[in-house]
Structure 1
Amino acid sequence: MENKIKLLTLSIALATTSASAANYAIEARGDAMGGVGVVSANFLTAPFYNPAITAIYRRNDDVGMITPSLGLSYSDEHMMVDDLDKAAGLIDSAIGGDYSNISELETTLAALDGDIAKLEFGGVIAFAIPNRFIAANLVGKAYAESFAQTDVYSGANSSIDAALNPAINAELSGVKAVGVGVTEVGLSLAKYQTFLGQHIAFGITPKLQRIYTYVYQANINNYDIKDVRDNGTGETMFNIDAGFLWFYGPLRVGIAAMNIVSRDITTQSLPGSTVTSQIDASQSRTFSPVSYDYQMRPLYTVGVGLIGDYASLSVDYDLNEEERYTNFNDNTQMVRVGGEIDILRQLKLRAGWNRNLAYDDLDDTITAGIGLSPLNLFQLDIGASYTNENSMGAYINFLTSY
């Protein structure tokens, strides 16, 4: 249990070091619909999906605010935290001279190989002024993602007894962690017009970003949470998002390009270290110096959907895969499907599905949520995501429009 708490705390510390944070679109309505938004967002949430939709609003919308939106999700699909907790206990037993569970330790170590746990947390605020000249939306957003993955050792060659090798391998195995936190302030500007009889909208979001990176490494039963904040660095940069929308009646097609300005950010470098086995002092492992490059690259997403007054259904697809941290298993390329039913402008029912196409062994995620608009005075959106019993998320929005 101690190591389970350590790893959870490690993830939370990495995620919250930048004050507030989460996934790249922190918004309960979209998250309840599988994460779609390139054609299904509204003028308030447009900057998080497609800036062009900032210009698409109802005639009675004069101003709108998100105050705020918050989201949190945790993913441990292969039960890495439980297996680490189990392995730590078995390692301690072996160090104490109890070798009766070495075969179980070998099985647990094999299960840990390549595992990764992930935490996301974030929040946004927005203030939008729709108009027929240049619609505008001022947004502030902060999100963080942290990833912890195992580094399983397999080079033990005991001089005492070869049967001890699985326990020594486990003792010399490690945990690696990286985190990224991004805070940004931007202004979405968008314009709707007809061109050759076609209804189109286009928009851009120039923004300032502060990007924080963190890196950490230690062996399984010897990492110390307080060291995480010592291994961080930050950079400030200018970036821009852009989007386009075409629609005819309820049919919409759109494309969004997020973070168009590329940037490589190198984490702090951790010095190498040598760990000696307590089971067999002749066995040791040298951890090489560690640093990673975080790649900020453009993400291009297309969307298509049927968006009506009382129901919607849409699909978003990432055209390219985001690598983000090099040599770390945090790549994403998402396909998302989601829909919404509006009941008398008072209650909205939402559901969705998404999948990360970057890896073959990940489970699908299903989502659901509701939107409440009592007497149209304000709107409360609540969403949840479920991948399996070890991977869930929750999201909430507070919106007002006048």
Structure 2
Amino acid sequence: MVTVKRAAAGIAMVSLSLPAAASTTLSDTRSVGMGGAGVASANYLTASFHNPALATQNKNYDRFGMILPVVGGRVYDGNDLHDRVDAFQDLNDQLAGNPDLQDEWIAALKGLDNERIDGDANIGMVIAIPNRVVSTNFFVSSHVTALVTTDIDENDLNNQEIVNSSAQGIAGGTVDIGFTFAKEFIFLERDLSLGFSPKFQQILTYNYQDTIDTFDNDDFDIGSDYVDKSAFNADLGVAYALSRNVMLGASAKNLFSQSLKTNISNGSQATFEVNTQYTAAIAYNHPRFTVAADVDLNSNKPFKEHTYKTQFARVGLEADAWRMAQLRLGYIHSMTDYADDVLTAGIGLKPFGKFGLDIAALYGKDDSYGASAQLVFHF
């Protein structure tokens, strides 16, 4: 268990080092290209990331498959907070020698009140053995969410000698190591699939707070100050073939809610929460194309002390060219005020049929962007 725990912590620390700082649902690259949709449209390889019931969906009759690895990241800095903090710190350094900068200093500080940068990153892999008895996947999925916020003290506007205004960076992540088991039945003359993913879950959190005049992104590093704990969790899923081409899906991820307090940094602390996420979906699966739509049935609020939360509706399209290449497009609609809508696109290349490369990108207004890539093998 100690070895597994150290490995999980290592995976999470790699995630924190990715170029991203919560989530529009980064999981597998195929779904990222399709706007994050996957609860009714995933295949047996990607089912563990979306809906364990879909591990039965093996249209190519493969005997074995792998995703090794999938890597992705996303960041949002809508108001150029990073650059504006740097600009304020430059002004603060110059203020003592040039009092004429006082008005500019006050305006710069006011402009930093209640701002944020957010983002997420993921690493994962799957080894899948589909079969008619019980389809089985082994998967590892690491996801980290980070948030940087600012809080301006009104007293600083009247006294520039001591800065009490602060910036806080917090991160929370999970590493899931588990198995997916799925079985297909006949119900009302249609295929009904049920899936279950028990998993070992490592939860990690990190907190860094400092006054805004000395806050340094380089110090927002998980290092040795992170807090972690182990837990058991599970995902459930169901998929029903309404017709030959229409699939309905529903999933419940992280059935057992978890929480973990961060380390204390300059008197501040935060609580990272892992709550159950419910999603419903529908997909039209044609041999040449797939159209899918997912909707989150509840919001996700990763940090207890912050109002930041996300909830999304997603639509995606995949066009297939003789199983050798795929073009994917998607749209993510934010159902809260804490995220903007995002466009996605991706391609899949399988020149030899058994080996593939998927890449995808997402883009939204106000410096919201991300990317994902994965290698796929199936035999």
Query: Hey, what does 1:236 align to over in structure 2?
Result: 230
Contact 1:129 1:135 in 2 (8 A): yes
Name the amino acid aligned to 1:183: V
Matches of 1:293 and 1:120 in 2, distance apart?
Answer: 17
Q: How far apart are residue 358 of structure 1 and its match?
A: 2.6
Deviation at 1:112, TM superposition (A): 2.0
Q: Which of these residues, 244, 249, 252, is aligned with residue 244 of structure 2?
A: 249
Return the match for 2:14 from 7, 15, 19.
19
Displacement, 1:168? 5.8
User: How many residue pairs align between the two structures?
Assistant: 362
Instruction: Provide closer, same or farther for how the CA distance between residues 371 and 316 of structure 1 changes in structure 2, counting only shifts above 3 A.
Output: same
Are the aligned partners of 1:211 and 1:235 in contact in 2 as well (CA < 8 Å)? Answer: yes
Question: Cα deviations across residues 76-122 of structure 1 (Å, max 9, x unaligned)?
Answer: 1121111111111112221x232333333333333322211123222
Q: Please point out which of 289, 302, 312 is paired with 1:311.
A: 289
Q: Distance between the aligned counterparts of 1:34 and 1:62, measured in 2? A: 28
Equivalent residues in 2 for 1:9-158 (5 A)?
Answer: 18-20=13-15, 25-58=26-59, 60-94=61-95, 96-156=96-156, 158=158
- Structure 2: how far apart are the matches of 1:99 and 1:141? 53
Name the residue aligned to 1:291.
269
Letter in 2 for 1:75: Y
Query: Aligned partners of 1:318 and 1:295: how far apart in 2?
Result: 17
Q: Residues 111-145 of structure 1, C-alpha deviation per residue, up to 9 Å, x if partnerless? A: 32221112322211111011111001110122222
Please give the TM-score of this superposition, normalised by the length of structure 2.
0.89
Instruction: From 348, 356, 372, give the equivalent of 1:371.
Output: 348
Percent sequence identity is 29
Contact conserved, 1:39 with 1:50, CA < 8 A, in 2?
Answer: yes
Distance 2:166 2:185 in 1: 57
**Alpha carbons of 1:16 and 1:218: their partners in 2 closer, same or farther (altered >3 Å)?**
farther
Structure 1: how far apart are the matches of 2:248 and 2:265? 46
* CA 221–168 in structure 1, closer or farther in 2 if over 3 Å, else same: same
The amino acid across from 1:369 in the alignment is G
What residue in structure 2 maps to residue 161 of structure 1? Answer: none
Contact 1:18 1:182 in 2 (8 A): no
Q: CA deviation at 1:16?
A: 7.8
Distance in 1 between the 2:296 and 2:150 partners?
Answer: 28
- Asked whether the equivalents of residues 15 and 145 of structure 1 are also in contact (C-alpha less than 8 Å), the reply is no
Aligned residue for 1:285?
none
Distance 2:175 2:35 in 1: 24
Question: 2:347 is matched by which residue type in structure 1?
Answer: I
SS of the residue aligned with 1:112? coil
Instruction: Please name the residue that 1:347 is paired with.
Output: 325
Q: CA–CA distance in 1 between the matches of 2:10 and 2:87?
A: 25
The answer to whether the Cα contact below 8 Å between 1:242 and 1:258 also exists between their aligned partners in 2 is yes
Matched position secondary structure for 2:15: coil
Alignment gaps of 5+ in structure 1: 1-13, 159-164, 272-288
Larger radius of gyration: 1
C-alpha distance in 2, partners of 1:168/1:366?
46
Q: Which amino acid aligns with 2:195?
A: G
TM-score, structure 1 as length reference: 0.84
Amino acid at match of 2:85: L
1:262/1:297 contact within 8 Å kept:
yes
Deviations 1:323-364 (A, max 9, x none): 12112244111111111111121111111111332326x421
Paired with 1:156 and 1:383, the residues of 2 have a C-alpha distance of: 45
Task: Tell me how far apart the structure 2 counterparts of residues 117 and 153 of structure 1 sit (CA, whole Å).
Answer: 19
CA distance in 1 between counterparts of 2:104 and 2:31 reads 43
Q: Give the match for residue 260 of structure 1.
A: 255
Q: Post-superposition shift, 1:60?
A: 2.5
- Taking structure 1 as reference, are residues 257 and 334 closer, same or farther at Cα in structure 2, changes over 3 Å only? same
Q: Is the CA contact (8 Å cut-off) linking 1:311 and 1:342 kept in structure 2?
A: yes
CA contact (8 A) 2:73 2:372 kept: yes
Residues 131 and 66 (structure 1), Cα distance of their counterparts in 2 relative to 1, 3 Å cut = same
Q: Name whichever of 98-107 and 211-220 sits farther off.
A: 98-107
